[in-house]
Structure 1
């Protein structure tokens, strides 16, 4: 069988898990270490959420939301300081991290057409292999054939603490408030009908509660190298 250059030494890695588990930091650094492309699916859902807010469309207007999603061209551009997100040519990187977007994104992500439209984009981006993708349903739904699947989790308390540290410059929100918001996002993500947050049967579960981010990254990089060695 003819082998295309690159097939055997590149794979796709799916990193799923609840809000605040550190998926995007971990995914970005794993991609850096392996020379892969990092695809932040959460940023894509946030971009749709931001555009919906700008257009005055609420999460309970599925038809309008679907139309909106289809009209958007979302680009993820890698850069030195992480990734820039563009919607229809407009840089929205900073805007999609707002608290308004954070509180709404699970609701928008529950829309079937939004998930369908973004899922097609995501599969297209992963077709060439050598991709690290993080989200809620990558291993179970978006890339069910990913060669390595990680389910990254941590206690609600730990996730709230991490989030709180990240927001050091903006301490208007209490740890308790963050904890209840994270628990609420878990509930929404786990209970939605369309592609809920789920641990794929072939995923490696990693509880990072007692681990540093670097330990998590090292463990995933090691797993990926083992997988590649086995595949050869």
Structure 2
């Protein structure tokens, strides 16, 4: 599987991160969280007093931050200008700013270049919102995870704390932004296998994806 690329897309709270890390660990593959890269870019913009709701202001600074992603599924890391940003990128301020930053075409172009460089010759599970459609459209295994909005909100609230109803409202608002943006919107890629994770445990979802990967390898 040293050249395999597994693309896993889906909205927030669908189980992408946990599933992707679990699949990568079980199969001995690297792991890339592209969402963390967009969060890292957002965090840098906020630290440098860039108005994240001003696309031109964001685009003007997009080449400056150094974003480095570790690919160990058992301990993924994200550094910005040499600083560990793994906790900081999960703040409420970043949560509120990541969608507008992610919609800036110059941001997506800059991070697309970094993402493809990390993917390289393969051997990796990549998660995000446009992996199968834009980042790695030739990936032999494409998965689209979804879940009932209530289930997604319960999961996210359990992870980050907060009220389930408020979390659900926030997730649905993020869905509308991600699905409606002009550049690389959230879509199910052609050829992707759709898995609704609502009725399954995490281990069950991981096992289903692993079976799909092993089936693709057997047919290759």
Please indicate, yes or no, whether the TM-score normalized by the shorter chain is above 0.5.
Answer: yes
User: 1:155 matched to which residue of 2?
Assistant: 148
Length-normalised TM-score, structure 2: 0.95
Query: 1:107: Cα distance to partner?
Result: 1.1
Does the aligned pair in 2 maintain the 1:15–1:152 contact within 8 Å? yes
> Does 2:129 align with 1:136?
yes
Does the aligned pair in 2 maintain the 1:28–1:82 contact within 8 Å? no
Does the aligned pair in 1 maintain the 2:150–2:168 contact within 8 Å? yes
Query: 1:78: Cα distance to partner?
Result: 4.5
Does the aligned pair in 1 maintain the 2:17–2:33 contact within 8 Å? yes
Query: 1:127: Cα distance to partner?
Result: 1.7
Q: CA distance change for structure 1 residues 17 and 80 in 2, over 3 Å: closer, same or farther?
A: closer
Length-normalised TM-score, structure 1: 0.91
Bigger radius of gyration, 1 or 2?
A: 1
For residues 26 and 129 of structure 2, the distance between their equivalents in structure 1, rounded to whole angstroms, comes to 23
Please give the root-mean-square deviation of Cα atoms over the aligned residues, in Å: 1.4
The superposition leaves residues 25-84 of structure 1 with CA deviations (integer Å, 9 ceiling, x where unpaired) of: 111111111111100000000000111111111223223312322112211225685212
User: 2:178 matched to which residue of 1?
Assistant: 189
Does the aligned pair in 2 maintain the 1:26–1:213 contact within 8 Å? yes
For residues 21 and 175 of structure 1, the distance between their equivalents in structure 2, rounded to whole angstroms, comes to 15
User: Where in structure 1 are there 5+ consecutive unaligned residues?
Assistant: 1-7
For residues 72 and 80 of structure 2, the distance between their equivalents in structure 1, rounded to whole angstroms, comes to 16
User: 2:109 matched to which residue of 1?
Assistant: 116
Does the aligned pair in 1 maintain the 2:77–2:84 contact within 8 Å? yes
> Does 2:43 align with 1:54?
no
Does the aligned pair in 2 maintain the 1:46–1:101 contact within 8 Å? yes
For residues 83 and 127 of structure 1, the distance between their equivalents in structure 2, rounded to whole angstroms, comes to 18
Count of residues paired in the alignment: 220
